[in-house]
Structures are given as C-alpha cells and as structure tokens.
C-alpha cells in the first residue's frame, strides 16, 4: 500500500513536472525588521512537499512555479505568503510575532497555538527572564513573575523545597495543591520525599531533600508556560487540576557561528536575616550566672563578673580559666559565606532535516552551614530528525546526577543546628565550640547534655544522598497529508534516590551511634497518541483531535536503620550491632485515558475550544473508577471586528468552563494490617479505608480580557475565576476512641475565587533605550463551603505544639488553629494570680497562612548594551507561627526577651475577680516566670504568631551585552556579563526570621509554621554568557 502510494505520488509529480515547464529558481534574503539576516527560516512552496531553509546569512534558493505561493515561517515571527510571479528574487522581512500581537504559546500536550485563540489564561516566561539569575531550585525563580502563582521557599538549606500553588489551594490534601510539571510533553515528578518525623520530633528531625522539579536545569529551559485554570490544563487530566507548569527545553537551531554557548554563574550566599540576639545579659537566672542554666536571664554582661564559664576552653576537663562575663555570641562565627558555581556548555545546530542540542551543566554549591553542599551534573541531548517530508521524530534525554555529602536536619530537636544555637549562652564565643569532641565518639563538647555541639552536627551528623534521574522521551509525528497527523510519544521519568545518615557514637540522641539507609525508586511512564485533523472551511478553521494516554507509576521505598554501631567511625550495614528497623513498600498506579478536543475558529476573531476526557484509574473501586470531564472555552477579539479607537490596539475577551476529575493514592480501598514495633508483631492500621470512594471533581469558570493599548505601550490582562472542588478524597480525622485516627471519605466543597491582574507599561521606547515596568497582582480566597454532614472541621495538617491547619466550614483554606490567650469579653488577655497569662483550653483560629494578596513588580531598563532589571515580591497578609520566637523568649537569647529583666513584668491585660468582673492586671511577675515560664509558651500558638506580610527584593541584575563589533573582535558571536542577585533585601514586621519559611513534617511542607528553620539566604554574584 505504502509503496503503491509513493509510486503514485512520484508518477503525478513527474507528470506535473513535465506539464509545467514554467518552474523558476527563486532566491532572496530574509531579514528581521532591523535588517538582521534570519537563518533557518522555513521556505515552503504551499501545497507541496517542496521546502528549504535559509542559510546563515538569511539567503535561500527554492524552485517554484509561477502562480504558486511561497510560505516563509520562523518561530516567533509572523509567517508571510508571497505569490510567485515572474520575479526570481524575493527579499522578505519578517516581523516579530509580538510586534504584531501574534503570540505563539505552548499549550497543553505541547501544542503551539496563537495566543489570540485561547479562551483561558496562560502566562509565559522565556529563558531570558528565567535565567537572569541562577538558582539551585529553579522553581524559586518563578516567584513573583506570574500572577496567581505563589512560590514559597523553605529555609532548609541548599536542598530546600519550594512549595508552589497556583490560584490558591483547592485540595484538602495539603500535598495535592501543587501543579503538574510537564517537560517537553512528559509529566515529571515534583514530589517531596522526606525522611524523618515531624518538625519537633526530638529523636528524628526531618531532612528536606528538595522537590522533584528543583532538579530541572534552568539553563536548558527555553520557556515556561503556566496553565493556571482547569480549562487550560483539562487535557492533562487528573493531576493538572491545580494547573500545569509547562516547560519547553531548548532545541537546536540553524545559526551563525559554531552554535556553542557557554554560561557561567558564580553566586555567593549569606544569611538574609539573622536573629536579633540580645547582648545585655548572660547565662543564668535571677541576674546570677550559672553555667548549667538553659536561660540567659543571668547577670549584665558588663565584664564586672569574672567566672568559669560553660563552653569555654577546658571547661569540661575542669581546666577552664575564669573569664569576664561579656557578650561574645556571634552567629557569623558559625555561618559562612556559601558559594554556588554553575557552568553550562552547550552545542546546538541544525541541518535541513535535523536539529540537535547537547548540553552539560555542572553546579557545585556550598551552603552557609559549614560542611553542607549540593552537586549536580546534568547532561541533556535533544534532537529531531525528519525521516521524510511527512514523518518527523523528536527525542530528548536528560540525565541528572544530584548528590550531597551533607544536607541538614531542620526543626526543633537536639540534632538541630538552630536548636543548639538558640539554646546557648550569650556570653559564649561560638568559636569555643569548634573543637567539638572531649573524647572522640564518646563525649561531645556541648553546652548541655541534651543537645549536640553545632560543629559536630555540621561535620558528623551526615545526611547524604545520591540521586540519579533520567528524563527521556521519544515522539513521532506523522503527517498523512496536510490535514491529518498522528503523534505518538513515550516519556519516562525514572529516579533512584539513595540516602544515608550517620550519627557518631556519643550523640545525645544516639549515644551508641546510628546508621541509616533510605532508597526511593520512582518511575513514571507515559504513553500517548494523538490523532489530529486540521482543515479550513471558508471562514472557519477547524482542528479535531483524539488522543489517549496511559500512565504507569511505580514507587518503591525502602529503609533500614540501626541505632547502634560496633566500631566508631565505620558507617555501613555490617557495622550495625543491634536489630535494625527495616521496611520496604512498593506502590503501583495506572491511569488509562482517552480524550478528544476540537478547536474551531471563525475569521480569526472568534474561537471555540471543546475538550473531553475520560480517565480510568486503578486506585478507585471498580464501579467508580471511570470518570469523564469536559471543558469549553471561548475567545473573542472585538478589535478585529469593531474599531474601538486608535488607543486600543487589541482587545480579547475570554470565557471558559471546565471540570477535572481526580483519583487518589494507591491502596486506599481494602484494610491491611501494619507491622508492630516488635519484630513479627502486627497491629491494626490507624485508618479506615473505603471501597466506595468516588473520583474527585473540580469545576471551574473563568473570564478574562487581554488588551494592548497606546501603540502597544501598555498591555493589560485581567482574569476572574471561580472554582468548586467537591467529593474530595480525604482522610478525615475521627475520634481516636473509635480505635482509628481517620477514615477516607469523599467530602468537602471548596470554593476558590480570585482575580489576577497583569499590567505592562513601556514608558520609554527609543531606538537604543527602553524602559518597561510590569506588575502581577493576584488575590484569591479559598472558602470551605461544606465538608460532610455532621462534620464542620477537618484537620488538614498538624503543625508543631498543637497547632493545626484546619478546614472549617465557612472558613478559609489555610486557616491556622491552636491554643491562644484566654481573653476577657472585651478581648483583653486574662492573667492568673501569679501574673502569668492564662492559656485558653479551647483552640481558636489564629489566622491564615495564605496572603490576602500578592504583587510582583518588576522594572527593566535597557540602554544600548546595558540592562538593569529589578523585581520585588510583595505579599500582604497571612500569619506565621514562629517557634524561634517562642524558644528565643524561653532561652532569653533573643532581644525580644529583654524587657523587665530587672524589674519584672506586668502583663498588659486583666485578671478575673471572684464576682466575675475583670480588673486590670497589676501583678508583677519575675522575668524567669515570664519568659521561661508561661508568657510565650511554645504551645501558645497565638502568642508566637505574626503578620507574615513582606516585601522582598527578589531579583536584581545589572548586565552588559557587548556590541557585535566587540564580540566579533573577540571571535565570539555574543558576549554578555551581569552582576546578579536574588533575595537581596527583606522588609517585614516578623522578628528574627524570614516570613517565607515553612516547616517540614516528614515529606509534607507545612506552610504557616516556622520551626527553627535555617536562615534563608541572599545570593549575589555574576554571570557570563558567551556564544561562539
């Protein structure tokens, strides 16, 4: 059949050739509007297979016949059609697409479309904007750049996770509010796999090994498109209910020069905000020095007292000299300047039939905590090949090797750095602690028996990992004819993450030492096909597609830990001398999907998209495992129909409605027993499973407008959206007296409503000077409409010290609950007879961790080769609980604990009289009982929570691109250098900490709670880009 068809084509073309003797050779030069030659422009004789590409100087030669039409097309530029008359030389100037408002964007399934045809909101960041500053977690670079996208860093060291939420939280499962990450059409894993327990787990604090997408090499990224709403992401199905981050990597291009690029980034980092440590009083209590005291309620540090001091050299051997009591504590003696060196070398190019890009990136970071690092090596190859005029294959492979010799535990516990820094003495010189063993592997030089030495933690409490990850895909596009094409694709994301932890003998938590190994294997394979039919009928352009996807996910987690070692200093399985605890669990999941969609356009000003998808998930019970969801979206361009005046260059109105179904995690249907602590024992699970679970459904509506005004000097985009998510599959807490802690049910109706506004203004636009200002504003309110009959609150996550994140009917998503002050009817704090504030035994709403609104502001100024870019992030509202504050009060180390040291404190508020009335509190309470006692007890969530509003100078870059002349004199195509920085400044009312912190509970990021996180860093350095 194929052979016959080819013969037929050959026959007809020969015939045509002979019949048509008017074929001529057309030549010409293709340039952009600035007169620069454009290489690699595709020149096709319309309705034939005849096509060529322009060379490096923009020249082309093609054979065509009179009366035929030549089509010139180039990515990012408006295509042009020219009728071949008698002329043999056709010079063409292509206009950049943005100039003419034709913006090609990548949409779901990697389909590129004209933005005017889209009935939903999508925002793009190109590589230039994304790569201004390099970061070890590229997700953090998205912060503030896109309206409605909230990125929150963690403060857990170099491998910190970033939590990203688009358009507010709609899921009652706190780990399910993130978007789907898709790289070149293939979904990738962005999970956080924690190790360790809760943030205050004394025995086993968690380590943050980062979110999966952090590993994507930002230098390989061509563009990031954010699909915010369900309509935009409906084709990705279940997992895209919270939006999609669509990443397109760079491909090879025909170009001048060798196609070799080199970029190098050198960044230094230092703590953005350190504690405000008090320097007036030393260790002890009642203004008296005491070496064993936890607290700094001791004497004035005026140097008048000379005493043998805990922590001083020789103290533990009884050989310490008396020293004057003075302030010596300096956090900068512990933290160092971090450094990240990132080098990328890439080669790319193209021939008539193929494109290729090969890149290698090495990233090497040292953290602000001594002996912490992160190393990434990343190799990627992307290539395409046209087998024939109808068949094209694409492939990309990306291998990422990440490893760290030490990532830290974070949280409140004796193994925590910040814990042992805050439980410390202001009269201690931290350098005294550098020599951290008294007797190696037996006794530490630590201030307290219940803590570890900070330098010992950094140097010996190792949490290392080595993660190997392959992202790969191969796809084929076959064009049966100009109307019908078939895409088939297989993509894989496979990672093996091997982690090990060491604790030497003599650790306060592991007196006999500890060695642990953890292995996390993950693979996801996606197989897709997509059959598309494209045709224009008169004024109508149409495209119909049918596709299918199968997703297979496999996760395997194994764990082994032995809390005792035979020989000190040897860390491996064979050196464990106790019964280790061990586990291994495998999880499998499959989703089969069929979908179809239609795109219909009328006269290029009215567009309708309809999509439909059906999923079959292995995780749902047989009768409920198939679920269908449609979407429809509409785009209308009034400026193409009506004249709205000269000021309005372009106006687009869009409207859409969509629903997305969702499944759940594996193994939630049938009861199985858990292993007990003793080997060979079993115990009932803590959860009631449910084999009647139904799929979750999210429905969303969105309306928006996009405009270009005043000769495109002003661009504006506004979106209003409302979404309802219902039937959520949640583990609802039940009374423990029922024998279990929670049960899985379908429950909840969460409504999200919000607006997103983007405004771009170009106040100055001259030939060699341009200044543009951009603002992204978003405001979102997620409301809990209902849970399930009889239940009006749901604990989404447990924070430290009794604090919870709860969904309560009528409340907002992200509400923080916990204990707070007992208050009189008029809202004053009530004190007891000792002068201590009384903690109300009823939990109350403390606040909400989500900001009321977010604003990203950026300014870009360029003059000739100079470029100045600055971006500010503003988050207004929201609360954060700070355990640093609570403990800083208890230990008396922080300046917030200074008032009333010598006079005692009278807490502002009232006491309750015997007759039930209230009178002002006049009882003086000692500083000891106030700070170390009750006033800021850590479980008083209210007392330690703050307005988390902040403004951050997120990015700053001052760059210079050398002129072509200088570049070519240096024998390079392009050369640019820049001074760059991120997180450079912070303005906030929150004391002592960066409000952009979140705790970690195992593998769950806990927004709204700061539990002795490490300081976040400001990063600054320089970047060089060279193209050869």
Partner 1 sequence: MKKFIIYILTIFAISACTNQFDEINTNKNQPTNAGPKFLLPSVIFNLANNSVYAAFDFGEIISQYGGDYEYNASDIYNWGPDSRFWDLYENLHDVKDIEKQAIADGNQNYQAVALVLGSYMTSILTDSYGPVPFTEANQSEDGIYAPKYDSQESIYNNILDNLTQANSLFDTNSSIDGDILFQGDMLKWKKFCNSLHVRLLMRISNKEDVSQRLSEILSNPSLYPLFESNNDNAIYKYSGVFPDISPRSNGNGREYEYHIVVPTTHLVNLLVDNNDPRLNEWIDPSAASNSYIGLQPGLPLDQIGEPANYARRADSYFESASKISAIFMTYSELNFLLAEARERNIINLSTAQNFYNKAVQASFEQWGVNMPSDYLTTTAPYNNTNDVLYEQKWLALYHTGVEAWFDWKRTGKPSFITPGPGAQNDGLVPRRLIYPSIEQSVNNTNYQQAAQSIGGDNINAKVWWDNF
Binders in 639-678 for partner 1, by CB under 8 A: 666-667, 669-678
Per-residue x/- mask for partner 1, residues 406 to 445, rule CB under 8 A?
--------x-------------------------------
Q: What is the C-alpha separation between 580 and 573, in angstroms, rounded?
A: 9
Binding partner 1 (rule: CB under 8 A), the pick from 32, 215, 294, 994 is 294
What sign results for the dihedral spanned by CA atoms 408, 409, 415, 418? positive
CA atoms within 13 A of residue 312's CA, in its CB half-sphere: 19
Q: What are phi and psi of 70, to 5 degrees?
A: -95, 135
In eight-state DSSP terms, residue 458 is H
Q: What is the largest CA-CA distance in the chain?
A: 113
Rank residues 256 and 844 by Cβ distance to partner 1 and give the closer one: 844
Q: Check binding of 903 to partner 1 (CB under 8 A).
A: no
Contacts (CB under 8 A) with partner 1, residues 259-288? 285-286
Q: Which of residues 333-352 bind partner 1 (CB under 8 A)?
A: none
Site for partner 1 (CB under 8 A): which residue of 33, 88, 91, 681? 681
> Closest CB to partner 1 among 574 and 841?
841
Of residues 467 and 937, the one with the C-beta less far from partner 1? 937
CA distance 793 to 786: 9
User: Which of helix, strand or coil describes residue 380?
Assistant: strand
Return the structure tokens found at 771: 């200044």
Q: What does the alpha-carbon distance between residue 413 and residue 200 come to, in Å, rounded to a whole number?
A: 6
Whose tokens are 């024992």? That residue is 681
Which two structure tokens, joined as six digits, stand for 203? Answer: 């025995």
Size of the site for partner 1 (CB under 8 A): 95
- If the CB atoms of residues 285 and 982 are measured against partner 1, the closer one turns out to be 285
CB nearer to partner 1: give 205 or 230.
205
Residue 257 vs 1002, nearer CB to partner 1: 1002
Determine the Cα–Cα distance for residues 548 and 534; give it in Å rounded to an integer: 18
19 phi and psi, to 5 degrees? -70, -30
Beta carbon of residue 320, minimum distance to partner 1 (angstroms, whole number): 16
What is the smallest separation between the CB atom of 299 and partner 1, expressed in angstroms?
15
Site for partner 1 in 813-872 (CB under 8 A): 819, 832-834, 836, 839, 841-843
Taking the C-alpha atoms of residue 485 and residue 844, their distance in angstroms, rounded to an integer, is 59
Residues 625-634 as b or e (16 or more Cβ within 10 Å = b): bebebbbbbb
Nearer to partner 1, 643 or 677 (CB): 677
Q: Which of residues 937-996 bind partner 1 (CB under 8 A)?
A: 937, 939
In angstroms, the CA 435 to CA 444 distance is 9
What is the smallest separation between the CB atom of 588 and partner 1, expressed in angstroms? 5
Please identify which residue in 934, 955, 957, 961 interacts with partner 1, judged by CB under 8 A: 934
Interface mask toward partner 1 for 101-130; x: CB under 8 A:
------------------------------
Question: Vertex 69, ends 65 and 70: CA angle to 5°?
Answer: 95
784-803 binders of partner 1 (CB under 8 A) = 790-791, 793, 795, 802
Considering the complex, state which of residue 279 and residue 290 has its C-beta at the smaller distance from partner 1.
290
DSSP string over 558-598? EEEEES-BSSTT--SGGGB-SPPEEEEEEEEEEEEEEEEEE
Torsion of CA 452, 454, 460, 463, to 10 degrees: 100
Strands (E), 453-605: 463-479, 484-503, 514-537, 540-562, 581-602
Strands 23-32 and 92-94: parallel
Min dist CB 48 to partner 1, Å, is 20
Q: Residue 163 CB, nearest distance to partner 1 (Å)?
A: 25
Half-sphere exposure of 940 (CA within 13 A, CB side): 22
* 61/245 Cα distance (integer angstroms): 40
Smallest gap from residue 101 Cβ to partner 1 (A): 38
Binding part of the chain for partner 1, among 53-61, 131-139, 585-593, 972-980 by CB under 8 A, reads 585-593
**Identity of the residue, 294 or 1010, whose beta carbon is nearer to partner 1 in the bound complex:** 294
3-state helix, strand, coil in the chain (%, to 5): 10, 50, 40
The number of angstroms, rounded, from the C-alpha of 290 to the middle of its chain's C-alpha atoms is: 46
Considering only residues 443 to 472 of the shown chain, the ones binding partner 1 according to CB under 8 A are 448-450
What part of residues 728-787 is at the interface with partner 1 (CB under 8 A)? 732-741, 743
Distance CA 467, CA 308 (A): 48
| Interface region with partner 1, contact rule CB under 8 A, candidates 249-257, 679-687, 750-758, 974-982 | 679-687
Beta bridge partners, 704, equal: 654, 719
Q: Extract the tokens encoding 318.
A: 């009884």
Instruction: Return the number of the residue (143 or 619) whose C-beta is nearest partner 1.
Output: 619
- Which of 70, 974, 236, 181 lies closest to 658, judged by CA? 236
Which of 932, 936, 950, 1009 binds partner 1 (CB under 8 A)? It is 932
Q: Which residues in 539-558 contact partner 1 (CB under 8 A)?
A: 548, 550
Comparison of 22 and 388: residue with beta carbon closer to partner 1: 388
Site string for partner 1, 605-624 (x = CB under 8 A): -----------x-xx--x--
Candidates 290, 542, 575, 859: give the one binding partner 1 (CB under 8 A): 290
**Cα end-to-end span (Å), the chain:** 48
Cβ at position 917, least distance to partner 1 in Å: 18
Name the residue with tokens 């953290």: 367
User: Which of 585, 903, 917, 963 forms a contact with partner 1 (CB under 8 A)?
Assistant: 585
| H/E segment holding residue 129 | helix 127-130
Q: Which residue, 638 or 933, has its beta carbon nearer to partner 1?
A: 933
Please report, as residue ranges, which positions from 508 to 527 form the binding site for partner 1 (by CB under 8 A): 508-509, 511-512, 527
| Residues in region 300-319 near partner 1 by CB under 8 A | none
Structure tokens at 623: 């009768």
- Pairwise CA distance, residues 200 & 472, whole Å: 39
Q: What is the nearest approach in angstroms of partner 1 to the Cβ of residue 600?
A: 26
- The nearest distance, CB 931 to partner 1, in angstroms, is 10
Q: Which is nearer to partner 1, 285 or 998 (CB)?
A: 285
Q: Strands, DSSP E only, in 839-889?
A: 844-848, 853-863, 866-876, 879-882
Q: Under rule CB under 8 A, which residues in 184-223 are in contact with partner 1?
A: 202
State in angstroms the smallest separation of the CB of 591 from partner 1: 10
Taking the least distance from each CB to partner 1, the nearer of 256 and 743 is 743
Place of tokens 């009384």: 838
Of 54-73, which residues contact partner 1 (CB under 8 A)? none
Which residue among 57, 302, 321, 586 contacts partner 1 (CB under 8 A)? 586
String of contacts with partner 1 for each residue 470-489, x by CB under 8 A = --------x-x-----x-x-
- In the complex, least distance from residue 604 CB atom to partner 1, rounded to whole angstroms: 32
Please state, in angstroms and rounded to a whole number, the distance separating the CA atoms of residues 833 and 843: 23
User: 230 with 242: CB under 8 angstroms?
Assistant: no
> What are the angstrom distances between the C-alpha of 82 and each of 31, 74, 102, 166, 781?
15, 15, 19, 44, 52
Residues numbered 555 to 584 that lie near partner 1 (CB under 8 A) are 563-564, 578-579, 581, 584
- Smallest gap from residue 813 Cβ to partner 1 (A): 16
């Amino acid at each position: 059949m194929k052979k016959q068809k080819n013969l037929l084509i050959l026959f007809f073309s020969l015939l045509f050739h002979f019949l048509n003797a008017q074929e001529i050779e057309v030549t010409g030069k293709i340039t952009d509007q600035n007169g620069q030659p454009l290489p690699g422009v595709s020149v096709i004789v319309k309705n034939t297979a005849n096509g060529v590409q322009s060379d490096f100087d923009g020249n082309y030669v093609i054979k065509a016949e009179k009366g035929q039409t030549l089509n010139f097309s180039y990515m990012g530029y408006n295509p042009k059609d020219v009728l071949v008359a008698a002329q043999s030389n056709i010079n063409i100037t292509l206009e950049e697409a943005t100039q003419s408002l034709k913006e090609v964007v990548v949409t779901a399934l990697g389909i590129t479309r004209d933005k005017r045809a889209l009935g939903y909101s999508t925002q793009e960041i190109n590589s230039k904007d994304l790569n201004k500053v390099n970061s070890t977690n590229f997700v953090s670079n998205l912060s503030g750049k896109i309206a409605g996208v909230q990125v929150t860093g963690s403060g857990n060291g170099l491998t910190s996770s970033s939590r990203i939420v688009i358009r507010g939280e709609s899921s009652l499962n706190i780990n399910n509010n993130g978007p789907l990450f898709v790289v070149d059409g293939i979904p990738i894993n962005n999970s956080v796999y924690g190790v360790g327990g809760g943030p205050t787990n004394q025995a086993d604090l968690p380590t943050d090994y980062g979110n999966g997408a952090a590993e994507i090499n930002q230098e390989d990224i061509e563009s990031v498109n954010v699909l915010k709403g369900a309509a935009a992401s409906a084709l990705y199905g279940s997992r895209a209910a919270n939006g999609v981050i669509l990443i397109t990597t760079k491909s090879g291009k025909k170009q001048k020069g060798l196609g070799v690029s080199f970029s190098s980034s050198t960044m230094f980092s230092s703590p953005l905000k350190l504690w405000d440590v008090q320097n007036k009083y030393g260790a002890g209590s009642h203004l008296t020095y005491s070496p064993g005291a936890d607290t700094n309620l001791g004497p004035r540090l005026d140097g008048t007292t000379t005493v043998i001091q805990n922590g001083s050299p020789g103290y533990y051997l009884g050989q310490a000299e008396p020293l004057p009591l003075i302030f010596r504590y300096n956090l900068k003696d512990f933290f160092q300047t971090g450094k990240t060196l990132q080098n990328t070398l890439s080669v790319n190019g193209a021939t008539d039939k193929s494109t290729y890009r090969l890149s290698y990136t090495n990233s090497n970071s040292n953290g602000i905590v001594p002996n912490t690092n992160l190393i990434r090596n990343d190799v990627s190859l992307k290539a395409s090949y046209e087998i024939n005029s109808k068949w094209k294959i694409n492939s990309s492979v990306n291998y990422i090797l990440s490893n760290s010799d030490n990532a830290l535990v974070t949280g409140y516990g004796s193994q925590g750095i910040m814990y042992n820094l805050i439980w410390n003495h202001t009269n201690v010189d931290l350098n005294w602690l550098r020599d951290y063993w008294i007797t190696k592997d037996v006794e530490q030089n630590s201030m307290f028996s219940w803590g570890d030495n900070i330098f010992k933690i950094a140097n010996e409490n190792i949490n290392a990992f080595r993660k190997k990850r392959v992202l790969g895909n191969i796809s084929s596009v076959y064009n049966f004819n100009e109307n019908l094409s078939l895409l088939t694709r297989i993509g894989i994301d496979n990672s093996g993450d091997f982690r090990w932890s060491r604790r030497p003998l003599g650790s306060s938590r592991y007196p006999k030492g500890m060695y642990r190994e953890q292995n996390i294997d993950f693979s996801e394979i996606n197989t897709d096909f997509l059959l598309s039919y494209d045709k224009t009928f008169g004024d109508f352009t149409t495209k119909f597609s049918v596709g299918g996807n199968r997703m297979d996910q496999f996760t395997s987690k194994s764990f082994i830990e032995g809390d005792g070692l035979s020989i000190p200093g040897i860390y491996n399985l064979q050196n464990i001398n106790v019964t280790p605890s061990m586990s291994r669990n495998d999880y499998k999941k499959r989703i089969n999907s069929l979908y179809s969609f239609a795109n219909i356009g009328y006269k290029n000003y009215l567009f309708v998209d309809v999509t439909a998808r059906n999923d079959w998930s292995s995780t749902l019970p047989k009768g409920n495992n198939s679920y269908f969801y449609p979407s429809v979206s509409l785009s209308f361009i009034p400026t193409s129909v009506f004249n709205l005046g000269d000021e309005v260059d372009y106006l687009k109105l869009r409207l859409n409605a969509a629903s997305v179904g969702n499944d759940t995690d594996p193994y939630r249907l049938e009861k199985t027993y858990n292993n007990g602590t003793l080997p060979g024992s079993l115990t009932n699970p803590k959860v009631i499973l449910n084999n009647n679970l139904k799929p979750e459904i999210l429905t969303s509506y969105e309306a928006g407008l996009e405009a270009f005004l005043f000769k495109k000097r002003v661009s504006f985009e506004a979106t209003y959206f409302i979404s309802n998510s219902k039937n959520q599959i949640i583990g609802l807490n039940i009374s423990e007296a029922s024998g279990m802690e929670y049960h899985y049910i379908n429950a909840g109706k969460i409504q999200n409503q919000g607006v997103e506004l983007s405004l771009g203004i170009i106040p100055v636009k001259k030939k060699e000077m341009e200044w543009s200002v951009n603002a992204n504003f978003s405001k979102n309110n997620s409301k809990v409409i209902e849970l399930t009959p009889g239940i009006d609150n749901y604990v989404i996550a447990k924070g430290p010290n009794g604090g919870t994140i709860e969904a309560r009917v009528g409340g907002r998503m992200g509400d923080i609950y916990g204990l707070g002050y007992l208050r009189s009817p008029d809202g004053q704090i009530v004190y007891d007879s000792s002068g201590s504030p009384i903690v109300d035994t009823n939990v109350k709403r403390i606040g909400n961790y989500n900001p009321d609104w977010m604003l990203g502001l950026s300014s870009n100024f360029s003059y000739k080769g100079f470029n100045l870019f600055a971006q500010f992030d503003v988050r207004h509202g929201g609360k954060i609980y700070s355990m640093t504050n609570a403990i800083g009060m208890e230990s008396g180390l922080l300046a917030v604990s200074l008032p009333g040291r010598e006079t005692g404190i009278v807490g502002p508020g009232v006491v309750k009289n015997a007759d039930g009335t209230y009178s002002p509190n006049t009882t003086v309470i000692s500083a000891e009982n106030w700070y170390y006692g009750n006033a800021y007890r850590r479980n008083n969530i209210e007392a330690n929570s703050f307005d988390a509003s902040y403004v951050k100078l997120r990015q700053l870059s001052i760059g210079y691109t050398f002129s072509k002349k200088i570049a070519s004199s240096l024998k390079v195509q392009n050369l640019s250098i820049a001074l760059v920085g991120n997180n450079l400044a912070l303005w906030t009312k929150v004391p002592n900490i960066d409000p952009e912190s979140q705790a970690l509970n195992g593998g769950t990021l806990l927004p709204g709670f700061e539990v002795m996180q490490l300081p976040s860093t400001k990063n600054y350095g320089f970047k060089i880009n060279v193209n050869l």
